Amino acid sequence: MVKIKFAIPKGSLEKNTFELLEKAMYRLRGQERTYRPVVDDPEIELKILRPQEIPMFVAEGSQDLGITGIDWIRETDADVEVLMDLEYGRVKLVVALPESIGFNSLPELFERYWKEGKIVRISTEYLNIAARHVKSYDVYKKWFKDEEPLVITPWWKRGTNRFVSIFLSFGATEAKPPEDADAIIDVVETGRTLEQNNLRPVEVILESSAVLIANKKSLNTPDKREKMLDVMTMLKGVIDGGKKLHIFVNVKEENLEQLLNNLPALKKPTISPLSAKGWYSVNTIVDKQEFLKLLPILRRLAQGLVVHEPQLILPLEDIPR
């Protein structure tokens, strides 16, 4: 029996990930006590890791599948296959400046500080993204051409341009300015934490969410590929199911054609005659966002409306073979 190794994230993505797996009919045990929870599918071996690490482990092949954020794929530059957006864990990676300094952008701060011979200190968990982004500014190219910003961790330093010093943050990045940093690059969800720490976002570098990723070699291994596509199908079924409603209505024969003509969402309804002559049952899936718009038509032309929220809608035609 071929097993696939599936890395799931610790931390901010953890709760939503376990909820997603459980909705996808995977029964889990032990996640509160161990980093190796047991799943009721014997062909899947789970391991809980930090989302920062998952892209590297999947790229290297020690894990076949993983759930992580787009931000960490970009930060690690990991060579993985992104199978699908899981549509949770949505955050923005932003540049934020202290309200007290009065600058509206990082290039504006750069220009002023460098004219005065000052060093700009940036605190972040995203060292590689920060260094690439700083180098992309025209003002940086004007002053320093292709010179690498100085990146500083407790263990090593790289780069030579001390006038931009990028410090590794181990968390609580918002607390660093103004004493320990002049700017930060960090993820935000609502922005309230920045506001509470007298910081203002001035630029969005990227938008991130949780994604399902795969090792490219594993994805091309027939036995593993089949199991990985099974997992992808189940997870996509949960996501699609959350956007749809399953409706059943009874309609008189005289109103059936008008009902179908007025409901463009009913593309492939199941239509069945009822035991009462002249009546039909219409059974179909509609978009949740469209339901309130459809309700007046259903109320006017049909009777006996029943609405279900499906747990899974398996999109078999959308999954690679």
Q: What is the CATH number of the domain that holds 215?
A: 3.40.190.10
Is residue 250 over pLDDT 70? yes
Q: Give per-residue pLDDT as tens, 80-91.
A: 999 999 999 999
Is residue 268 over pLDDT 80? no
Higher pLDDT, 217 or 289: 217
Higher pLDDT, 155 or 33: 155
The secondary element (H helix, E strand) that includes residue 308 is: strand 303-308
User: Which of 241, 264, 287 is the C-terminal boundary of a domain?
Assistant: 241
Cα(265)–Cα(166) distance, integer angstroms? 52
Tell me, yes or no, whether 222 and 74 share the same domain: yes
List the strands of the sheet with 65-69, edge to edge.
44-49, 4-9, 65-69, 210-214, 81-85
Share of residues in the chain with pLDDT > 70 (%): 95
The secondary element (H helix, E strand) that includes residue 244 is: strand 244-252
Tell me, yes or no, whether 43 and 134 share the same domain: no
Q: What is the reported pLDDT for 265?
A: 52
What letter represents residue 113's amino acid? Y
Q: Give per-residue pLDDT as tens, 167-216.
A: 999 999 999 999 999 999 999 998 889 999 999 999 999 999 999 999 99
Tell me, yes or no, whether 116 and 194 share the same domain: yes
Q: What is the reported pLDDT for 182?
A: 96
**Structural tokens at position 264:** 């463009």
User: Which of 223, 241, 259 is the C-terminal boundary of a domain?
Assistant: 241
Query: Predicted confidence band at 261 (pLDDT cuts at 50, 70, 90)?
Result: confident
The secondary element (H helix, E strand) that includes residue 23 is: helix 14-23
Mean of per-residue pLDDT scores for the chain: 91
Tell me, yes or no, whether 10 and 159 share the same domain: no
Could you count the other beta carbons within 10 Å of the beta carbon of residue 15? 11
Residue 210, CA atoms < 13 Å, CB-side half-sphere: 24
**Overall number of domains in the chain:** 3
pTM for the model stands at: 0.88
Q: Give per-residue pLDDT as tens, 139-165.
A: 999 999 999 999 999 999 999 999 999
Higher pLDDT, 260 or 122: 122
**Structural tokens at position 155:** 């263990």
Is residue 242 over pLDDT 90? no
Average pLDDT for 52-78: 97
Cα(135)–Cα(147) distance, integer angstroms? 8
Tell me, yes or no, whether 99 and 199 share the same domain: yes
Tell me, yes or no, whether 143 and 101 share the same domain: yes
Cα(183)–Cα(22) distance, integer angstroms? 40
**Helical segments of the chain, H only:** 14-23, 54-60, 70-76, 106-115, 127-136, 138-144, 192-196, 216-219, 222-241, 253-262, 291-301
Tell me, yes or no, whether 82 and 113 share the same domain: no
For residue 178, give its domain range: 92-207
Tell me, yes or no, whether 133 and 173 share the same domain: yes
What backbone phi and psi angles, to 5 degrees, belong to 306?
-125, 130
User: Which of 148, 183, 207 is the C-terminal boundary of a domain?
Assistant: 207
Tell me, yes or no, whether 103 and 188 share the same domain: yes
Q: Can you give the CATH number for the domain in which 280 is found?
A: 3.30.70.120
Is residue 267 over pLDDT 60? no
Cα(237)–Cα(313) distance, integer angstroms? 4
Cα(235)–Cα(227) distance, integer angstroms? 13
- Block residue for tokens 């931000």: 71
Tell me, yes or no, whether 237 and 254 share the same domain: no
Tell me, yes or no, whether 182 and 312 share the same domain: no
Cα(23)–Cα(176) distance, integer angstroms? 40
Residue 225, CA atoms < 13 Å, CB-side half-sphere: 10
Tell me, yes or no, whether 257 and 198 share the same domain: no
